[in-house]
Amino acid sequence: LLDGASGAGSLDWLRNGSSDLGRLSGRFQRLRLQPMPTADKAGDTPPTPADVVGAVIDPNRVPTLDFQVDELDIGGENFGHLQLQSERLPGGQRLKQIQLEGGVASLSGEGEWKRQQNVSSARANFELASTDLAAALRGLGFAPTLSGRSARFRSQLVWAPAARGLEWSQAQ
């Protein structure tokens, strides 16, 4: 049971034996997150091959997810209600459902993430809409360089197979 300034709810890791990675289940009345800080490119040191291999997350080695958040706050902005579920598939996980609604943005989508033979790949299909684009951008940690009463778009992102794992900059 969690109850504090950043959230209230429960987080359970449900397993069926020692070899089962199980399901990470979260039920939150409220959850407050801060956007990830951006890296200072000038001060970054390129990773070595050993760093990259050690940092790759393998979807075959993490539990599936089942999250429900009644009130999601990101960066001080209300993003509403979130539902997220994943399930196992050969070589990885499938994002069965992601649904966000009732706040400054709505999102629905699905996708998959695989790691086979030391190579990661992924795809995501989603639709994103906002009635307050500036607030959504601020909440996610971006400067509100766009404005508008409403915005809507559909997209598909694909990450080509790569040994170094998934990187946002490689999405197409």
Please list the alpha-helical segments (H only) found in 15-172: 49-55, 133-139
Question: Rounded to whole angstroms, how far apart are CA atoms 130 and 62?
Answer: 32
Query: Is 93 in contact with 64 (CB distance < 8 Å)?
Result: yes
Residue 140 belongs to what H/E stretch? none
pLDDT of 41 higher than 90: no
Over residues 75-101, mean pLDDT: 97
Predicted pLDDT at 54:
59
pTM of the shown model: 0.83
Q: What is the pLDDT of residues 44-60, one digit of tens each?
A: 565 555 454 557 999 99
How are strands ordered across the β-sheet holding 2-4? 2-4, 7-14, 23-33, 64-74, 77-89, 92-102, 105-116, 119-130, 151-162
Predicted pLDDT at 77:
96
